[in-house]
Structure 1
Amino acid sequence: MKRTPAALWIWYRGTHFRGYQRQPDGPTVQETLEDSLRKAGVPYPVMAAGRTDRGVHARMQVVSVRLPPFYTSEMLSERLPPHLPPELGLCVARRPPEGFHAQWSAAGKEYRYRLQLGGPPPEAWRPFVMETASEPRLMEGGALKPERVAELLGAAVGRRDFHAFHEHSSLRKPRTLESATLHELGNGLFEARLRGDGFGRYQVRYLVGSALLTAAGVLSEELFRSALDSGTSIPGLKAPAHGLLLWEVHYPPAVDPFPPEERARAPGLPLAPPFSLSTPADAAAA
């Protein structure tokens, strides 16, 4: 009997895990998910759209798995959640279109990075935000102006070699950053949104951190832009992991298991930070 493919949309708070990929000194997201799947009657390994590092969160991580004969994705949606810990959850399980693969079918990803540019963040958001005022290298420079940070992030958009902004263990190749924007959430909290066809390891964290370093005047703009143009290494800044969130994984419409309306409302996603779409001002008022 054939095993049935399923696509899982999961979320997690990365502070509780040592990254996504299974490793001997867990717990990891993969280890926890596969253990929970076994308890739900699915004793097979999973394949994710990509890895996230220790401390990085995910609003939308997509996972491929095979189900036993006669076991449906609807059954999995009911049986899996009771076995998941509070820091990991299932939004939805779907029978994907023919040929779908969580990793190889992916057309791109969107990451969001939360950073505090003025005053302290609301207490509920503190574990999920980079507080720039306490970053030693940024303290050497001047005040961070949001419009300046936005300008420098925007300079990274395009197809280029991001070798200077990711770990050298990642494959060196051209990657396209489709957009990089900064959005104010209120109370001094901002969100950098970066969407592209692929990212090297730590790429978002190095881009955001180095843009902040340049905006503060600690790193020269000439060096920052030269690194974007040529891939030449610079003494950049890797922003801390806890501010980073894998927001969404994108697929071509022909193989996407999740329709636009479902992506917009994210069924089963917690309302608390770091997933909340409300502003920190709303959270503080509540």
Structure 2
Amino acid sequence: MLPSTSRRIPVALWIWYRGGNFRGFQRQPAGPTVQEALEGALSSVGVPATIMPAGRTDRGVHARMQVVSVRLEPGDSADALARRLPERLPPGLGLVCVRVPRSFHAQWSASGKAYRYRLRLGGASDAAWAPYALDVPAEPLLQGAGRPVTPERLEELLGAAVGTRDFIAFHEKSSPRKPRTLESATLHELGGGLYEARLSGDGFARYQVRYLVGSALKVAAGLLPEAEWKAALESGEAIEGFKAPAHGLILWEVRYPPGVDPFSAGERLHPPGLPLEPPFLP
């Protein structure tokens, strides 16, 4: 007979991780994965639970803010878990905070997500950023046209994708086909030739951000006709897109409606304990 969960305490964990340390989020036989590492650490501190994440990131994708739902045993507390869990986590995986929500589910309560994709369009290579940003001039699949990718052109193309549409041409077919809203897609200069594409929306299918950024790069490089890009956006017509490498992508934020969000505005702006070195610099 399974133990009753009626008295167990639901909590929300904000975690971060560097994707290069894991083979994706979801538990799998070939591990290590974020889920395996986190559930193992929780079990070691007296919380034998299967976690429920806001979403699952693929191998190599980083997360500044991943949210998971967990239930604690009666008598335990969010503060106590926050004190004893961090030392049990492996390198590349950390805890920002533990909060007790009102009525909350990490995935189904979410109202949207924000991703950031880091890329280098010029300047000298930086060893600190190499594992966390796509070096566009050195990417073999973006060479051959002799046209450098300019930030102005890339931002123009990304901006054209904003809106509510069927993004079937830009995501894995295993994800449900349905209208999704891309609320914003902008490009920001970080200095030294490094840029950051910021995409925010109500939800993203598998590989959607990577295909949108990668295919926009391909058009900007003159390797994919802009007419095909527009047709893919407007009608879902298939294109020979480019899936940007995982190492440049970060799950930046998971959003929840007011009254449901377990995290304060201050915590979101300045996450306690979040590493400031790459890839989590603002």
Category of TM-score, reference length = shorter chain = over 0.9
**Counterpart residue number, 2:105:** 101
Q: Report how many residues are paired.
A: 276
1:180 aligns with one of 181, 185, 210: 185
Out of 109, 115, 118, the position equivalent to 2:119 is 115
- Within 2, Cα distance between the matches of 1:219 and 1:232? 14
TM-score by length of 2: 0.97
Structure 1 residue runs of 4+, over 6 Å off?
none
State the match for 1:54 in structure 2. 59
| Residue of structure 1 in register with 2:244 after alignment | 239
Matched, 1:168 2:166: no
Conserved? CA contact 2:137–2:148, under 8 Å? no
Offset, 1:276: 2.0
Q: Counterpart amino acid of 1:159?
A: T
Look up the match of 1:140.
Answer: 144
Deviations 1:35-91 (A, max 9, x none): 000111101110000000000000000000000011000000001001001210000
Shift of 1:120: 3.2
Q: Normalized against structure 1, the TM-score is what?
A: 0.95
Structure 1 match to 2:135: 131
Gaps (5+ residues) in structure 1? 278-286
Task: State the secondary structure of the residue aligned to 2:128.
Answer: helix
SS in 1 for 2:184: strand
Q: Which amino acid aligns with 2:140?
A: P
1:21 matches 2:22: no
**1:191 maps onto 2:196 in alignment:** yes
Cα-to-partner distance string for 1:184-220 (whole Å, 9 max, x where unaligned): 0000000000000011100000000000000111100
Could you say what the CA RMSD is over the residues aligned between the two structures, in angstroms?
Answer: 0.8
In structure 2, the residue corresponding to 1:110 is in which secondary structure?
strand
Write the letter of the residue equivalent to 2:223: V
Partner of 2:261: 256
Cα distance in 1 between the residues matched to 2:191 and 2:88? 36
Write the distance in 2 (CA, Å) between the matches of 1:179 and 1:194: 6
Query: Which runs of 5 or more structure 2 residues have no equivalent in the other structure?
Result: 1-5
Match of 2:213 in 1: 208
Partner of 1:124: helix, strand, or coil?
coil
